[in-house]
Structure 1
Amino acid sequence: MNLEEFNIIIFITGIIIGCVATLALKSYIAKNNRKQTDSSSNIITMKTLQQELDSKQVIIDNFFADSNQHLITVEKRLAELRNCLAENASQLSNIHVESSATGELNQTSEFSDSVEPPRDYALKHGKEPGMLSENFGLENRDLDLEPKRTM
């Protein structure tokens, strides 16, 4: 075998090994890139969390607004029913039943008349402070509890 033939065989073998190594390296890099894109797509960002929280907050706000509207409607219908029953009761008997509008006015006036500051019902002798006093119970009892030490 000639030296020139040996050099050609080594040259061609080198080209083949280089091509195989290049293809293996490209496939390895492509797999790593796919893994990185998959992991980055699974990362939850603060912006997406905030958007999800905002959308849930809107749903909650709508729920409470709708519930409030339904409650107001039910209260109006109940007031109409009370008025209707009061009118029909007065037609059927001699007993006068107040309608809901006048009943609410009477309840608010009774409540405003009964509002007063709390009273002090504590047992006390003479000029002692009551339980509602600011200095009630702040006596210096530590002196009585501490035994006297003498030598």
Structure 2
Amino acid sequence: MNLEEFNIIIFITGIIIGCVATLALKSYSAKNNSKKVGTSSNIITMKSLQQELDNKQVIIDNFFTDSNEHLVSAEKRLADLRNALADNASQLSNIKIERSGTTANTSDPAETTTFEPPRDYALKKDKEPGMLSETFGFDDKNADIEPKRTI
């Protein structure tokens, strides 16, 4: 047997052993992956995170809505108490106490608020542009004040 024939036999044997080892490693890793997928019920997916976040957001929204309703009802009860005290005080004595006007003014504050553009309160002469004008500050009045410096 020649040395070249021996090298070829060893080369082919190495290829066969490498293929067998690769197949065995792949089957072993496939078994591990199938076990992990089957038993990994605690893997967090984006969908489950989004559902949990939505559920918590609903709970938070409900909390603030309920709190606001309780505050409004407490304010109404306090206004009723003040009105009752004012009525009873006027019956018991000659002191005149004004009734609370909060029950009559139950409109939304967001609806009564009107928005206005900013006002120009800058001091100016008759035809001079104000600070909110687009041309304000573009004139070269300071050019005459600054002396020209030459060396």
**Could you tell me which residue of structure 2 aligns to residue 4 of structure 1?**
none
Of all paired residues, the percent bearing the same amino acid is 71
Equivalent residue letter for 1:143: A
Whose RCO is larger (CA < 8 A, sep 6+)?
Answer: 2
TM-score, normalising length: structure 1:
0.53
1:65 equivalent in structure 2 = 65
Give the length in aligned residue pairs.
118
Counterpart amino acid of residue 77 in structure 2: R
Residue 101 (structure 2) pairs with residue 101 (structure 1): yes
| Bigger radius of gyration among the two | 1
- Is 1:74 matched up with 2:74? yes
Instruction: List aligned pairs for 1:81-100, cutoff 5 A.
Output: 81-100=81-100
2-structure distance, mates of 1:127, 1:53: 59
Judged with a 3 Å threshold, the aligned counterparts in structure 2 of structure 1 residues 102 and 50 are, in CA distance, closer, same or farther, namely closer
- Structure having the larger proportion of residues in helix: 1
Structure 1 Cα separation of the partners of residues 128 and 72 of structure 2: 52
The one-letter code sitting in structure 2 at the alignment partner of 1:55 is: N
**5+ residue gaps in structure 1?**
1-23, 106-116
Deviations, residues 72-131 of structure 1 (Å, cap 9, x unaligned) = 1101110111001101211222121111138966xxxxxxxxxxx999876667776666
CA contact (8 A) 2:86 2:98 kept: yes
Equivalents in 2 of 1:102, 1:36: separation in Å?
64
- Matches of 2:102 and 2:69, distance apart in 1: 24
Instruction: Give the equivalent residue in structure 2 for 1:113.
Output: none
Is the alpha carbon distance of 1:102 and 1:45 closer, same or farther for their aligned partners in structure 2, counting shifts above 3 Å? closer
Going from structure 1 to structure 2, the CA distance change for 1:67 and 1:28 (only over 3 Å counts) comes to same
RMSD: 4.3
- What does residue 140 of structure 2 align with? 140
